[in-house]
Structure 1
Amino acid sequence: MDDYPLIEDHGLIGDLQTAALVTTEGAVDWFCSPRFDSPSVFGALLDRRNGGHCTVRPAHPTHSTKQLYLPDTAILVTRFMTEAGAGEVIDFMPVTGPMATRHHRLVRLVRCVRGTMTFDVEIAPRFDYGRSKHDVHLTQHGAVFVAQDGTELTVHPIREPEDERLSDVLTHREADLQVSLTLEAGQQRGLILETGAEGPPREIRRAEHERLFEETVGFWRSWLTRSRYTGRWREVVERSAITLKLMTFAPSGGLVAAPTAALPEQLGGERNWDYRFTWIRDASFSVYALLGLGFTEEARAFITWLGDRVKERAGSDGNTGPLNIMYKVDGSSDLTEQILDHWEGYGGSAPVRIGNGAATQLQLDIYGEALDSIYFGHQHGLELGHAGWTSLRTDLEWLADHWDQAEEGIWETRGGRQDFTYGRVMSWVAFDRALRLAEANGWPSAADRWKTERDAAYEQVMAKGWSDGRRAFVQHYGSEVLDSALLRMATVGFVSPGDPMWAATLDAMEQELVSDSLVYRYNPDASPDGLRGSEGTFSLCTFMYVDALARAGRTDRARLTFEKMMGYANHLGLYSEEIDPTGRQLGNFPQAFTHLALIDSALTLNAALDKK
């Protein structure tokens, strides 16, 4: 484990089609190309010896490192302080256009800001998750790594004519490259790593690099000016917005759950999943957060993406429904799960999984989340056309016939289907929002049928989802297990925030699922989910708890919980999926769901505090 940086000791950069993680020690240890869900080029995050990396670090002993984002951008600065001097590495990816491309650039500028600094640079790619061998070809102007599968990584040096050529100082060890750069205060060098290059390596002059830098700064700052958020925690909220934008695949509008795969929910455990896909649920939640901040274009892009999924699968009579729970970012649905048994996993946490076998599970809540986001978008001017409404009606016909059955549920359990209360609540939401859309627009509908099913779902939840013994709504029928997914019951309007049954449920959750303001999903010992081991608290659930407390009028407790949660962010304001009892972050990083919930809870809490 000592060989691995902490999960939270990373920053994220990206170009809106793929992304990279950079450690506080100057290593790019995760980068997939040409898309988020493509095979890795650098994967040391999951295997330090065989995964591949690009590292820039001082040759001198380092007293301290600092990492920050250039304000209001996704440009990452990693600073090193030594006795000899101070230096920094500035990392960014120039933003790509809206068309999918194989052409991606990772810019790494090395600068000495005080004294004299020698930087050791090592470039060691491992293509296709380390499964494809490669050769390296040096030229007068740079280098090209060529994998057996045809993938290439081109190295363009950043230099001025008076600087020594990178090719003159590069050393070649097997199929990796090393170089040592000595710089004095004010001097800078660097390199651009490019996949899908259209030509051979070439030397990049400072003027060209500065143009790329200024264009990237301009993009992010211009984009952020569209935010209309003026409440408390503005810096935190806007950093979350930038993080979500970094995880959006621009050509389709699909939002990945995280840019990483197989980071463990328990060190040494088996809960290691691939999150580089678009979940209907997660991305639906993005509509609320994006519209709440004023990012209409991104919300419209996702609703278009969702509409395409509805139209292409409408009418399916499969037993998992007309919608999959997740898709690749381009909308395709082949997510076959594989195990990379040649990789040891982060900190020895095997198996390393790519793909996701949960893609074909039955999770009934996604229909409520999809309809709720479409209805919310419609209220904010994102209109649904005839074809979209026609397809939704077909989905609702399926749901009317199938909502009352066991399923795998929101947490994608692998221990068998259950009658999950949350799935029934969200089925109620699906019918309710469909009825509202039809009535508001005068659209044709099966209103009588939908109303009947909506009311039946409500009555069933109240009869079977409530436990008199626990004085709370429970995870699934016939159980006494609590589930923090049900924190959304008041958010979606199924129960009133002031209902005594809801107040009792919040009290029960506080006693069983809340630990010093951090919230567990559920107790896996009480509700086996088919997997070994335990997990940390879920950051998503903590922010959902804040939202629920604020809606219930418990604003002081909500604010304290929110402020405590701010202390668990990493140094850049980023969150992974979970937090373990020591305060370390666990799971895939950064997680979109968590940052979405942060924004939602900040909006709700800020409004509640303004009313006090």
Structure 2
Amino acid sequence: MRPRGSGRLSRSSAPGHGDGWTRGAGWFDRPMTQRIEDHAMIGDCYTAALVDRAGTIDWMCLPRFDSSSTFAALLGDEHDGHWTLHPTDPDATAERRYEQDTLVLTTIWTTASGIVEVTDFMPIDAHRAAVVRRVRGLQGSVEMRQTLRIRFDYASALPWVRQIGDDDDPALVATAGPGSVIVRGVRFHADDHRHVATTTIHDGDVLDTELTWYPSHREPPEPLDVTPALAATSAWWRAWAGKTRVEGPYADATRRSLLLLRAMTHAETGGVVAAVTTSLPEDPGGERNWDYRYVWLRDASLALASLIAHGYRDEATHWRGWLLRAIAGDPADVQIMYGIAGERELAERELPHLAGYAHSTPVRIGNGASTQYQGDVFGEVLAALHDARELGVEENADSWALQRALLGFVEQHWQEPDNGIWEMRGPRRSFTHSRAMIWAAFDRGVAAVEEFGLEGPVERWRELRSAVRAEIDEHGWNAERGAFRQHYDTDEVDASLLVLPQIGYCKATDPRMLGTVAAIEEDLRVGTDGLVLRYRTSAGFDGLSGSEHPFLACSFWLVEQYAASGRVEDAERLMDVLVGYANDVGMLSEEVDVATGHHIGNTPQALSHLTLVSAADAIQRGRGAVSGHRTRVPQHDGGTRAAAGVGGFAGTPA
């Protein structure tokens, strides 16, 4: 006999509905292509699944974020794999939310005959890659239907499926090549290359369905005891969230962003993925579709800065370990991104059998930008490691030796053109942002010697820091327009220039910075709400066709700039708009269509949530509500540097 609440119907008391619910459409309204913002993420810090408002898991990779998919309907149609759980009543409506400070998703379905609660979660510390979907009757009776279509290897492998167990302990096993899943808790029956189960849930009943991945050469794992696993998972998330105190008008958005960032950090390696999806388009119907399930040095560096700013020292230490392992070796071999465990081979290829989200092709896995040279990553890495020192993460001989080696490489190559923060697929340029981050690399090297007593050629680093500044002032500055340039061969501006004050290159109130902000507002602002593009794709030098929408991270950078330059009301006005674009459970993607409000690009986007946290902190500082980190101090070459909590600043993987 199975444990109570672990696969069989059982009686329990029905809780109240609580507050803060958001009403969704009936499941029968589900369009052929579900909107990106209709998804919520559940995860176990190893991988994640996306659940839409209709109760469908249409994207999940097992057992890691970057593994091949088990459900891929998000990038095609229902035949590419999904797991749907909803009432059979076509007029059913849904309300959903995360349990407070967790990634446990709860949905209340209301029908003409009754009300049920569905709880979706991935168990933490259960030593398995699993998803549990618990249905509990709250009132009356509701007929629930599950439809399961398992497709391995990005929907290219139709599994061999067999029934095992008996009526008291039914299970479905699906196998294709190296992977298997076992689904326990309800008896499914085959129906045209899918499996379907229908169950009537009465008031007080509890039905758990558990899907667990395992290597196909092993025996299936034992059933999960769901009730204690659910309690332990909720407690784990709440304990993690409780380590920091978040205040101010954007506290809820900040706390949710930090939780999502933790969920995108691999529990064992410490690698922070840029998003949990691939190929959700920046330009629906176009070719700007990229795989974000890897660890970008920029994004990971900014993740570290956000965690440091909120006191997560253990996570900072864990991330530093990942970084040092990933970049160990010849500095000339440093990549802009790595696999979750530090893998270097991320060859990009296309999957022509998938139709793509909103028919946006090609669907890509891997990322060709991993072979690009982007000089700015050295600044982001060295700035993040300096932040870790300031937090109290002890430096050891190996870690400092590696940083010195990186600085030695930068000394030899800092004048080389690169592909820039936005990973342009056109010719290399001398990007102003890249040069400013190289300035930051030398600046943090100087600070390591001056402030922490580490050994290094500090005089040479000071000279190089000044030389980089002199070059930027001569070639990266457009005196005629009164703004910094995107790169040395153009008069275009770029939203990445907004980070110059954040890294301490200049003050937010510097007239040059104010002129740059004015130019960004003039050239890159879209719509009436003040959101900005990364750059003008019409300039034609990014090597891609089509266009894109406002980039949320850039707009959060603008919030931070406003707050730091005394325009706090403007900062709050724009922040309110940006936070308002989060979906009903607080998730943000990469971009947003200001005409429709729809999310665009991969989701949830780590960079969007990282910059949200920084922007909220900046508003608190601008209002004088907090003090401590990121206070500006003069530098010898005429710049300023944040005394603590600066970190690297992430670009977007392209």
TM-score by length of 1: 0.93
Distance 1:201 1:500, change over 3 A: closer
C-alpha distance after superposition, 1:311-350 (max 9, x if no partner):
x23x34xxxx341000001011110101000000011111
1:432 corresponds to 2:448: no
Point out the more displaced range, 573-582 or 88-97. Answer: 88-97
1:535 to 525, 538, 548: 548
The residue that corresponds to 1:252 in the other structure is: 269
C-alpha distance after superposition, 1:81-103 (max 9, x if no partner):
22222223210011137xxx6x3
1:179 to 197, 213, 237: 197
Cα contact 1:142–1:201 (8 A) shared by 2: no
Cα contact 2:500–2:506 (8 A) shared by 1: yes
* Aligned counterparts, 1:266-281, within 5 A: 266-281=283-298
1:156 corresponds to 2:167: no
1:196 to 183, 191, 214: 214
Separation in structure 2 between the aligned mates of residue 384 and residue 281 of structure 1, nearest angstrom: 21
Separation in structure 1 between the aligned mates of residue 90 and residue 223 of structure 2, nearest angstrom: 31
Local SS of the residue matching 1:152: strand
**Displacement, 1:498?**
1.7
1:213 corresponds to 2:246: no
* Aligned counterparts, 1:51-62, within 5 A: 51-62=80-91
**Displacement, 1:199?**
4.3
Q: What is the one-letter code of the residue matched to 2:160?
A: D
Separation in structure 2 between the aligned mates of residue 63 and residue 153 of structure 1, nearest angstrom: 30
Separation in structure 2 between the aligned mates of residue 181 and residue 611 of structure 1, nearest angstrom: 53
Local SS of the residue matching 2:74: coil
The residue that corresponds to 1:588 in the other structure is: 602
The residue that corresponds to 2:366 in the other structure is: 355
Separation in structure 1 between the aligned mates of residue 548 and residue 31 of structure 2, nearest angstrom: 21
Point out the more displaced range, 439-448 or 105-114. Answer: 439-448
Separation in structure 1 between the aligned mates of residue 74 and residue 598 of structure 2, nearest angstrom: 16
* Aligned counterparts, 1:18-37, within 5 A: 18-37=47-66
Distance 1:135 1:143, change over 3 A: farther
Separation in structure 1 between the aligned mates of residue 221 and residue 515 of structure 2, nearest angstrom: 66
Give the number of equivalent residue pairs.
589
Q: What is the one-letter code of the residue matched to 1:249?
A: H
* Aligned counterparts, 1:511-530, within 5 A: 511-515=522-526, 516-530=529-543
1:505 corresponds to 2:516: yes
**Displacement, 1:202?**
6.7
The residue that corresponds to 2:170 in the other structure is: 142
Separation in structure 2 between the aligned mates of residue 174 and residue 59 of structure 1, nearest angstrom: 19
**Displacement, 1:446?**
2.2
Q: What is the one-letter code of the residue matched to 1:520?
A: L
Q: What is the one-letter code of the residue matched to 2:622?
A: A
Separation in structure 1 between the aligned mates of residue 577 and residue 221 of structure 2, nearest angstrom: 49
**Displacement, 1:391?**
1.2
* Aligned counterparts, 1:122-133, within 5 A: 122-133=147-158
1:9 corresponds to 2:38: yes
C-alpha distance after superposition, 1:446-499 (max 9, x if no partner):
223222221111011111111123221111002011100110001111111221
Distance 1:217 1:210, change over 3 A: same
Q: What is the one-letter code of the residue matched to 1:27?
A: T
1:575 corresponds to 2:588: yes
Cα contact 1:325–1:363 (8 A) shared by 2: yes
Cα contact 1:231–1:606 (8 A) shared by 2: yes
Point out the more displaced range, 182-191 or 237-246. Answer: 182-191
Separation in structure 2 between the aligned mates of residue 30 and residue 2 of structure 1, nearest angstrom: 16
C-alpha distance after superposition, 1:382-438 (max 9, x if no partner):
122111111111111111111111110000111111110000000000001011102
Separation in structure 1 between the aligned mates of residue 427 and residue 79 of structure 2, nearest angstrom: 36
Separation in structure 2 between the aligned mates of residue 518 and residue 117 of structure 1, nearest angstrom: 44
Unpaired runs of 5+ residues, structure 1, are 158-165
The residue that corresponds to 1:547 in the other structure is: 560
1:237 corresponds to 2:266: no
Local SS of the residue matching 1:248: coil
Q: What is the one-letter code of the residue matched to 1:602?
A: A
The residue that corresponds to 1:87 in the other structure is: 116
Point out the more displaced range, 438-447 or 266-275. Answer: 438-447
Local SS of the residue matching 2:60: strand
Separation in structure 1 between the aligned mates of residue 489 and residue 290 of structure 2, nearest angstrom: 29
C-alpha distance after superposition, 1:148-188 (max 9, x if no partner):
3131010111xxxxxxxx33xx3212542111011122222
**Displacement, 1:583?**
1.3
Local SS of the residue matching 1:257: coil
Point out the more displaced range, 135-144 or 247-256. Answer: 135-144
**Displacement, 1:62?**
2.7
* Aligned counterparts, 1:81-120, within 5 A: 81-96=110-125, 103-120=128-145
Separation in structure 1 between the aligned mates of residue 31 and residue 106 of structure 2, nearest angstrom: 24
* Aligned counterparts, 1:372-521, within 5 A: 372-515=383-526, 516-521=529-534
Separation in structure 1 between the aligned mates of residue 393 and residue 125 of structure 2, nearest angstrom: 25
Q: What is the one-letter code of the residue matched to 2:621?
A: A
Cα contact 2:374–2:419 (8 A) shared by 1: yes
Local SS of the residue matching 1:74: coil
Cα contact 2:79–2:149 (8 A) shared by 1: no
Local SS of the residue matching 1:399: helix
Separation in structure 1 between the aligned mates of residue 625 and residue 609 of structure 2, nearest angstrom: 25
Cα contact 1:136–1:143 (8 A) shared by 2: no
Separation in structure 1 between the aligned mates of residue 418 and residue 589 of structure 2, nearest angstrom: 27
2:73 to 28, 38, 44: 44
Local SS of the residue matching 1:120: strand
Cα contact 1:143–1:201 (8 A) shared by 2: no
**Displacement, 1:304?**
1.6
1:598 corresponds to 2:627: no
Cα contact 1:27–1:54 (8 A) shared by 2: yes
Q: What is the one-letter code of the residue matched to 2:117?
A: E
Q: What is the one-letter code of the residue matched to 2:37?
A: E
**Displacement, 1:200?**
4.4
Cα contact 1:132–1:147 (8 A) shared by 2: no
Local SS of the residue matching 2:553: helix
Moved over 4 A (4+): 197-204
Separation in structure 1 between the aligned mates of residue 436 and residue 320 of structure 2, nearest angstrom: 22
Cα contact 1:322–1:395 (8 A) shared by 2: no
TM-score by length of 2: 0.88
Local SS of the residue matching 2:268: coil
Point out the more displaced range, 243-252 or 466-475. Answer: 466-475
Identical residues among aligned pairs (%): 37
Cα contact 2:326–2:343 (8 A) shared by 1: no
Separation in structure 2 between the aligned mates of residue 433 and residue 523 of structure 1, nearest angstrom: 32
**Displacement, 1:527?**
4.3
**Displacement, 1:56?**
0.3
Distance 1:176 1:2, change over 3 A: closer
Separation in structure 2 between the aligned mates of residue 202 and residue 502 of structure 1, nearest angstrom: 60
Separation in structure 1 between the aligned mates of residue 349 and residue 173 of structure 2, nearest angstrom: 26
Separation in structure 2 between the aligned mates of residue 151 and residue 380 of structure 1, nearest angstrom: 42
Cα contact 1:519–1:538 (8 A) shared by 2: yes
Separation in structure 2 between the aligned mates of residue 603 and residue 243 of structure 1, nearest angstrom: 17
